[in-house]
Amino acid sequence: MFIVKYIKDVWGAIASLATGMKRTLYYFTHHKEIITQEYPDNRDSLVMAERFKGEVVMPHDEKNEHRCTGCTACELACPNGTIKVITKFDISPEGKKKKAIDKLVYHLELCTMCNLCVEACPSDAIKMAQTFEHSVYDRKQLTKILNHPGSKIMEGVE
Amino acid sequence: MWSLSHIANEIHTWLSNTFNPTWTQIIEMVLAGVAVIGLFAALGLVLVLMERRVAAWIQIRLGPNRVGPFGLLQSMADTLKLIVKEGLTPDGADKVMFNVAPFIAMIVAMLLMAPIAFAKDFQLWDLNIGVLFVTAISSIMVISILMAGWSSNNKYSLMGAMRSGAQIVSYELSAGLSIMTIVVLTGSLQVSDIIHSQANGWWIFKGHVPVWIAFITFIIAVTAETNRAPFDLAEAESELTAGFHTEYSGMKFALFFLAEYINVFIVCAIGATLFLGGWMPLHFGSGNAFNHAMDYIPSSIWFFGKTFLLIFLIMWFRWTFPRLRIDQLLNLEWKYLLPISMVNLLVTTAMAILGWHF
């Protein structure tokens, strides 16, 4: 019957609109759970989400050693040329030449935080940090060298 | 007694004793104009802040909280920003039309203020066709939108204006028919008569089911008529930049913005007058203690309380429902609201003749 379907349509519409309005009224009247972060005020207690990706860093241990072998997998994985690995050859005590990094140059201004370099790294040398206050007055400051000066590769990482 | 009508009478007596009748009339007109403009400014500030707060609370946010205590001065700061901005007129625009359009929107809003009863015996003009006047004037609103959209020489503006035209013209029918429901029950078009007919109970209680249907139709239709979400196709910022006022900036934009909020206030005031008794306190039956207790609350508070309740309802709609498509919009009006309100008017007429209401 046409008229029965019509009335059912109208009734269904009103019921579904009422469901939505009930939900928003619940939020309006339960003004406790606030998602707004009052950022500059709560800077000390700010908790970032675990999956937040701020910039690429290379962790160093207390002996100023990193895990980077200079394999350039990250440079190859990067879709927009953010990472540039400059390698050198270390001479080991036995007299053998061994590939190592001289500088790992990271252009923060080009990075899209896609995480592909971190996934490509075979030795877990780089990871994503949660820092986000990257504003500087000079663009040059956004070009970073990730390995600390005088650092060398950790024992046992090939 | 500090009622609004008392203050108005005091001013009138003082003016009559000081000046001759002609000057009294002129000064009173100027005072009324200033009062209306003052009310506009106050409403603009309050409603913009209220909207942002309601939106924030519904979306579990905080809303404006930086300017002044609890962010109360936020809309003041926004107004200041708009005043100091340049009111640009595009090169290819029809200059006269472009600059006149925002003022037409404001004039329509001002004219609509005339028959609204803000408190007991406090009304600018109690003309005997008050409700008809309101429906007639409110349809001029579409002209200002069409003028703005067409003269801007911008495709987004023109599309917004055309959508708005189709929308306002169609939704006026069901708004008018639901207003007719109350006119049929009251038997008068005069605003004061309609309010006095609700002394023993508001129409929404006395008229039961048909008036409920008329009320829902009215609220939906006026939400569409004032171009607010979910019917904001005329501006539709995600599709048309800002619709008919894309090219406006500075104070000319502010006038359109203000006109939107003033129109929301006016339609809610009319809704409150027709369905919720205007300034009439909540009465059940006649002469009992409850009615006397309710009479102690001033009539202006009743009026503004009801109006702001309806404004909250319309804001609640805006922040709950997604925007309709243009075909869904026209389907809703022509296939659902209009037939329903026509049948409803027929039922109400039968009810009024047979006396089935309380």
Interface of B with A in 236-265 (CB under 8 A): none
Residues 6+ apart with CB under 8 A from A13: B336
Q: Which of A47, A13, A153, A25 is nearest to B315 (CA)?
A: A25
Mean pLDDT of chain A: 85
- B interface mutation test: which of A19, A24, A37 has the most B CBs within 10 A? A24
Residues in chain B with CB shorter than 8 Å from the CB of A38 are: 62, 65
Mean per-residue pLDDT, B232-260:
80
Q: Could B60 and A20 be called an inter-chain contact, meaning their C-beta atoms sit closer than 8 Å? A: no
CA-based nearest distance B46→chain A, Å? 19
Residues in chain A with CB shorter than 8 Å from the CB of B57 are: 27-28, 31
Residue B286 pLDDT grade (very low, low, confident, very high; cuts 50, 70, 90): low
Neighbours of A95 (CB within 10 A): 6
By CB atoms closer than 10 A (0-12, 13-18, 19+), residue B254 is: buried
For tokens 């709560």, the residue is A42
Q: Could B57 and A28 be called an inter-chain contact, meaning their C-beta atoms sit closer than 8 Å? A: yes
Residue B68 pLDDT grade (very low, low, confident, very high; cuts 50, 70, 90): confident
Q: Could A20 and B321 be called an inter-chain contact, meaning their C-beta atoms sit closer than 8 Å? A: yes
B298/B281 Cα distance (integer angstroms)? 8
Asked whether residue B1 carries a pLDDT value surpassing 60, the answer given is no
Contact by Cβ (8 Å): A147, A104: yes
B23/B197 Cα distance (integer angstroms)? 36
Residues in chain B with CB shorter than 8 Å from the CB of A37 are: none
Helix (H, G, I), strand (E, B) or coil at A144: strand
Q: Could B59 and A27 be called an inter-chain contact, meaning their C-beta atoms sit closer than 8 Å? A: yes
Q: Which of B102, B101, B141 is nearest to B257 (CA)?
A: B102
Write the class of the CATH domain A55-153: alpha beta
pLDDT the model gives residue B285: 65
Mean pLDDT of chain B: 84
Residue A137 pLDDT grade (very low, low, confident, very high; cuts 50, 70, 90): very high
Mean per-residue pLDDT, B85-114:
85
Residue B113 pLDDT grade (very low, low, confident, very high; cuts 50, 70, 90): confident
- Whether chain A has a CB inside 8 Å of the CB on B316: the answer is yes
Angle at B329 between CA B325 and CA B331, to 5 degrees: 115
A102/B42 Cα distance (integer angstroms)? 67
Asked whether residue B350 carries a pLDDT value surpassing 80, the answer given is yes
Q: Could B320 and A23 be called an inter-chain contact, meaning their C-beta atoms sit closer than 8 Å? A: yes
pLDDT the model gives residue B258: 86
Question: How many contacts, defined by CB atoms under 8 Å, are there between A and B?
Answer: 38
Asked whether residue B166 carries a pLDDT value surpassing 60, the answer given is yes
Residue B154 pLDDT grade (very low, low, confident, very high; cuts 50, 70, 90): confident
For chain A, the first-to-last Cα distance in angstroms comes to 77
Asked whether residue B287 carries a pLDDT value surpassing 70, the answer given is no
- Please write the tens of the pLDDT for every residue from B5-30: 778 788 888 888 888 888 888 888 88
Backbone angles phi, psi at B321, to 5 degrees: -100, 145
Instruction: Choose among A14, A24, A36: nearest Cβ to B319.
Output: A24
A111/B4 Cα distance (integer angstroms)? 65
CA-based nearest distance A134→chain B, Å? 24
Closest A-chain CA to B60: A34
Can you say how many angstroms the Cα of residue A12 is from the centroid of all Cα atoms in its chain?
45
- Whether chain B has a CB inside 8 Å of the CB on A35: the answer is yes
Mean per-residue pLDDT, B154-176:
86
- Whether chain B has a CB inside 8 Å of the CB on A2: the answer is no
Element containing residue A153 per DSSP (H, E): strand A152-153
Instruction: Choose among A9, A20, A27: nearest Cβ to B60.
Output: A27
Domain boundaries, chain A: 1-35, 55-153
Q: Could B61 and A33 be called an inter-chain contact, meaning their C-beta atoms sit closer than 8 Å? A: no
Amino acid occupying residue A21? M
**Token couple for B348:** 């109400």
Helix (H, G, I), strand (E, B) or coil at B203: helix
pLDDT the model gives residue B206: 80
Contact by Cβ (8 Å): A58, A126: yes
- Please write the tens of the pLDDT for every residue from A9-49: 889 988 998 998 898 888 888 877 788 888 888 888 888 88
B221 vs B229 pLDDT, higher one: B221
Contact by Cβ (8 Å): B146, B108: no
- Whether chain B has a CB inside 8 Å of the CB on A25: the answer is yes
Closest A-chain CA to B336: A10
Q: Could A35 and B58 be called an inter-chain contact, meaning their C-beta atoms sit closer than 8 Å? A: no
- B interface mutation test: which of A8, A19, A26, A28 has the most B CBs within 10 A? A28
Whether ipTM tops 0.85, in short, is no
Residues in chain A with CB shorter than 8 Å from the CB of B216 are: 14
- Whether chain B has a CB inside 8 Å of the CB on A17: the answer is yes
- Whether chain A has a CB inside 8 Å of the CB on B319: the answer is yes
How would you label A43-82 residue by residue, b for 16+ Cβ within 10 Å and e otherwise?
eeeeeeeeeebbbbebebeeeebbbbbbbbbbbebbeeeb
- Please write the tens of the pLDDT for every residue from A46-81: 888 888 888 888 888 888 888 888 888 888 999 988
Interface of B with A in 77-116 (CB under 8 A): none
B256/B165 Cα distance (integer angstroms)? 16
Residues pairing with A143 in the sheet: A107
Domain boundaries, chain B: 91-354
Residue A153 pLDDT grade (very low, low, confident, very high; cuts 50, 70, 90): confident
Chain length of chain A: 158
Q: Could B60 and A35 be called an inter-chain contact, meaning their C-beta atoms sit closer than 8 Å? A: yes
Asked whether residue A92 carries a pLDDT value surpassing 80, the answer given is no
Mean per-residue pLDDT, B224-248:
79
Closest B-chain CA to A11: B336
pTM for this model (two decimals): 0.81
Q: Could A28 and B54 be called an inter-chain contact, meaning their C-beta atoms sit closer than 8 Å? A: yes
